[in-house]
Structure 1
Amino acid sequence: MTGPDEPRKEGQDGTGPDRTMVSSPPPSPVPAEEGAAPDRTRISVPPDAPGDAGDERTAFMAPGGGEDATRISVPSAPSGPDASPAAEEARVPILSAGTVINNNYRIAGVLSSGGMGAVYHGVEIGTGDPVAIKAILPDLAADPRAGALFRSEARMLRQLADDAIVRYYNYVHDHALERYFLVMEFIEGITLSDHMARSGPLPPAAAEALIRRLARALSRAHALGVIHRDLSPDNVMLPGGAVAEARLIDFGIARSARLSEEEAPGTFAGKLKYVAPEQLGHFGGHVGPETDIYGLALLVGAALSGRALPMGNSIEEAAERRRRVPDLSGVSSGLRPLLTHMLEPDPAARPASMEEVLRLIEHPHLLPPRYGGPSAAVPGGLTLPPGLGRPGAARAAGAGQGAGPAPDPAPQPPRDRAALRLIGGLAAVFLALLGAAGWYGWTAGLIGPGKAPEGGIEARLPPRQGAGRAGFLAAWQSGPCSYLTRVETGPRAGVVERYGRRRGDAAEDNAALAEAYEARFGSRPAVLDRPVAEPQCAVLDFARSLQARPGPLPVLSATPEQVASGEEVRAAVAAPGPARLWVALVAPDGAVYDLTDRIGPDGRLRFGLSLPEGAAAAPQLLLAVAATRPLASAATATDGTPAARLLPAVLEEIAGRGGGAGVAVAHLELLPPEPAEDG
Structure 2
Amino acid sequence: MTANDPFRSSYRGVPAGTRLNGIYEIEAMIGAGGMGEVYRCREIQTGSPVAVKMLLPDMVDNEAALALFRREAAALHNLPHEAIVRYFLFTVEPVLQRPYLAMEFVNGRSLSNMLDDGPLTFEALIKLMQRVASGLQAAHEHGIIHRDVSPDNIIVPLDDIRRAKIIDFGIARSTQMGDKTIIGSGFAGKDNYASPEQVGLYGNDVTAKSDVYSFGLVLFQALTGQKLDMGGSQFQLVEKRRRVPDLGAVDLRIRPLLERMLHPDPALRPTMAEVANWAPAASAQPSAVPLHGFDPLGKPEAGTSAQQERVPSTTRNSRRIWLGACVAGLLLLLGGGGYSFYKFVWSSSGLAALPPPPKLAATPAPPRIEPAPPQPARQEPVKLPSQPTVTPSSSPDGPGRAERIRRYVAQYAGGDCFFILPVAVSASAAVIEGFGASTAPFDTFDKAFRKEQGFEASVGVRQVNPAQCPAVKFLSQVGSDQARAPRINLSATELKAGETLNGTIENFANRVVELLMVSDRGEVQSLSYLLKPGIDSLSFALPMARSTGPQLLLVVAAPRVLDSLRQPRPMAADTFFLQAISEAQRGNVTLTAAARYVMLTN
Q: Pick the TM interval, shorter chain.
A: 0.3 to 0.5
Q: TM-score, normalised by structure 2?
A: 0.44
RCO higher in structure (CA 8 A, sep ≥6): 2
